[in-house]
Amino acid sequence: MTDNRGDPLRIVTSDGRVLSKKDLEDLMRTDAEELIGRVATEIWRLARRFGRITERQDEVRPIGDSVARLHDALRQYGVELQEHDGQVYDDGFRVEVLAGLEPDLRLIVAETVEPTIRWKGRVIRQGKVTLKRADQ
């Protein structure tokens, strides 16, 4: 990266450390991941809420079309949304359990509160779930 004269760009932190190109790219990626995670989660919530609307289909169809286009845009840029509803719970899941039961029981995900979000194959936002006993 260079300044407007073509000289190498130097960014110095408040403690006097000069940031490398990799440091700067890491900072930018972290901000992008946070933004992507937040936007993807809200699109997911909108889609779930929209899916529960059954009345006045003609009036809400354009909203559904917009939600579908938003999902397509996320997929186009490598963002994946993973719901966990009904899956058998495994301690290896990369999710935060908001409410659950004893870990020695056979558990399934009762509800995905927020999906797991992957960007370019890497988890950038951990999902949030509630659990219930598999025999309920």
Give yes or no for residue 32 having a pLDDT over 90: no
The predicted structure's pLDDT at residue 102: 65
Cα four-point dihedral sign 5, 11, 17, 18: negative
Mean pLDDT of 31-46: 88
Domain ranges within the chain, ordered by starting residue: 11-133
Mean pLDDT of 1-16: 67
Q: What is the pLDDT of residues 41-96, one digit of tens each?
A: 999 988 888 877 766 777 778 888 888 899 999 999 899 998 999 888 887 787 88
Average model confidence (pLDDT) for the chain? 81
Q: What is the pLDDT of residues 93-104, one digit of tens each?
A: 878 888 766 666
Cα-based distances in Å from 34 to 70, 71, 98, 116, 120: 17, 17, 21, 13, 14
Residue 125 CA to residue 41 CA, distance in Å, equals: 9
Provide the token pair at 67: 């939600």
CB 93 within 8 A of CB 78: no
